[in-house]
Chains A and B, each alone.
Chain A
Amino acid sequence: MRHKEETGEKLTLPFHATSEAMIEHLSRDNKIGVIVKDEATTILKNARKQYGADYYEMMSKLYDGSYYERRTRKAGLEIVPSDTYVNMIAATTPYIYKVLEEEFFTQGLGNRILYVLWNGETEDSEGIFDVDIKNYDSKDADILNKLRTLREKCENVRTTIPLKESESTLTKWRDKISRIVEKFYNEGKLIEQSYYGRMWEMLVKLAALHSIARWYNNPKANVAFVIEEKDTQWAIDKTIKYIKNFHRLLEEWRGATIKTDAKLESSEKLHETIIATIRENGGRITKRELLAKRNMTKNKISAHIETLVEMEKITLVSIPWGSHFKTEIFLDPDEAEKYMTEMKQKYPNKLVFIPTSEMIRKGQW
């Protein structure tokens, strides 16, 4: 039995591309939940293309749980209740570095996010793509039951977590972080200043959550939780890790090919043209046809094809053909899979493969 079926409560919130739709959902349906998003760059694109800083502001207020009001021509004044509680778990490819803009941080949304960056290798030596034939329903239910017990305790105690600031390591860290924020301010490093400006709050949140997760195993159900030294130390370790990730993000973003807005716009237009060309051709096209129709060389188009693959807009199927590759490009990944099966049957002695973005970058397509 799943949580939604049992309680009628949805754990996940839909991610709407417009603030209006998001507001409508929060006003009408669940106000507490997690947004699960596998293409986080949509947030940046929405802000850039259609809704501007207003969009970042709406997302920031979702995070803050502060009520949001907005006057629209269509519906007049709309208000999201102040008691929204929204989490977000999102993933993206390094394509994010191509669409990231300073405003994402200076407006404040980027500073409300903790970043987890791939460290260059899969830690799971056996791989995450092993075929999974086990039925995990009962184990999922076990985790869910523990989380529900946690919620029950939190609701019963109506918990406010005591924090003795004057005696706490947390206070020392607040001062330490404040000094770093000031240093960044003096150096004119606005993005770093604003990100660090949120870090003490993040540290407190993490310490509190650790305290709660520890308290969960405490048989004395009515004892309220307190942030102890071990919670703070755990949270400090995590915060340092997240700060390192933030600096890596900045490095990779600033080190990525610097594109002016105009150039980026022109890239996006070319992406749209490539997609339109494939669509006009019935949803699939050979590499040779595409190059001829766009009057481009493979070298010139490769970076755009790589981006479209990373964005999961297109799927390629390639076969080594002499010193080149015979490649077919598809809009529908299922069609690509079907084509790959056909080609494997037709050419049993040849390697038929779906090139990854890295292979495309190396010209192996």
Chain B
Amino acid sequence: MAEYLIDEITEYVFNERRLTPTRDWAEAIAISLVSLFSHPAKVLTKKGFIRLNLWYIFIGPSSLASKKFHWISSI
């Protein structure tokens, strides 16, 4: 079992389900899911609170920017 949840989801999305063409894109999906379920956690800095939401865009050939990552919508 992966030590961290981000690693575990990355492995699942990339190696087991093969939903993404690269590990980096699988990791982005994993980070995004952890971020989504971490709400309302936030970080307090001297400049105020930082929320933990993130936006990602993958740029690749059409055959690889596959719609498989829509898996998120199905869970």
Q: Is the CB of B41 within 8 A of A208?
A: yes
Instruction: Say whether A154 contacts B64, CB under 8 Å.
Output: no
Are A123 and B36 neighbours in the complex by a CB distance under 8 Å?
no
Evaluate contact between A34 and B21: CB separation under 8 angstroms.
no
A263 in contact (CB, < 8 A): no
Contact of B52 among A11, A88, A209, A241 (CB under 8 A): A209
Once the chains bind, are A209 and B34 in contact (CB under 8 Å)?
A: yes
Query: Within the complex, which residue of A34, A123, A139, A146 is in contact with B5, where a contact is CB–CB below 8 Å?
Result: A146
Q: Is the CB of A93 within 8 A of B73?
A: no
Which of A85, A144, A148 contacts B51 (CB under 8 A)?
Answer: A85
Say whether B37 contacts A151, CB under 8 Å.
Answer: yes
Bitwise interface map of A from 136 to 153 toward B, beta carbon under 8 Å scored 1, else 0:
100110011011101100
Residue in A89, A151, A212, A357 with the greatest tally of chain B CB atoms within 10 Å? A89
Binds B, one of A156-164, A264-272, A318-326: A156-164
Complex Cα–Cα for A150 and B9 (A): 13
Asked if A209 and B74 sit within 8 Å, CB to CB, the answer is no
Q: How far, in angstroms, from A131 to B52 measured CA to CA in the complex? A: 36
- Could you say which interface size class chain B belongs to? 35 or more
Interchain CA distance A310-B50 in the complex, whole Å: 37
A151 to B56, CA, bound (A): 21
Kindly supply a per-residue 1/0 record for chain B positions 25-49, scoring 1 wherever the CB is within 8 Å of any chain A CB and 0 otherwise.
1001101111111111111111001
A96 to B57, CA, bound (A): 11
A32–B28 Cα distance when bound, in Å, is: 18
Min CB distance B6 to A, Å, is 4
Complex Cα gap A2–B72 (Å): 11
Residue-wise interface mask of B (61-75) relative to A, using a CB-CB cutoff of 8 A (1 in contact, 0 not): 111111111111111
> A69-102: contact bitstring with B at CB < 8 Å (1 yes, 0 no)?
0000000000000000111111111101000000
- Check A94–B56 contact: CB distance below 8 A: no
Q: Contacts A87-B54, A217-B4 hold; do A93 and B61 have CB atoms under 8 A apart?
A: yes
A136 to B34, CA, bound (A): 20
* CB <8 Å contact, A115 and B57: yes
Identify which of A198-206, A288-296, A327-335, A344-352 touches chain B. A198-206
Question: Which residues of chain B from 1 to 29 have any CB-CB distance to chain A below 8 Å in the complex?
Answer: 3-9, 12, 14-25, 28-29
Pair A90/B18 contact, Cβ less than 8 Å: no
- Complex contact B38–A357 (CB within 8 A): no
- B residues at A contact (CB < 8 Å): 3-9, 12, 14-25, 28-29, 31-46, 49-75
17 contacts across the A-B interface (CB closer than 8 A):
A32-B39, A38-B65, A65-B53, A88-B57, A90-B55, A91-B60, A91-B65, A96-B57, A114-B55, A114-B56, A114-B57, A132-B18, A136-B16, A160-B43, A213-B6, A217-B3, A312-B62
Q: A88-B55, A201-B50 are in contact. List 12 more A-B contacts (CB 8 A).
A: A34-B32, A36-B69, A85-B53, A89-B72, A93-B61, A114-B57, A123-B14, A154-B37, A154-B40, A159-B40, A163-B45, A209-B54
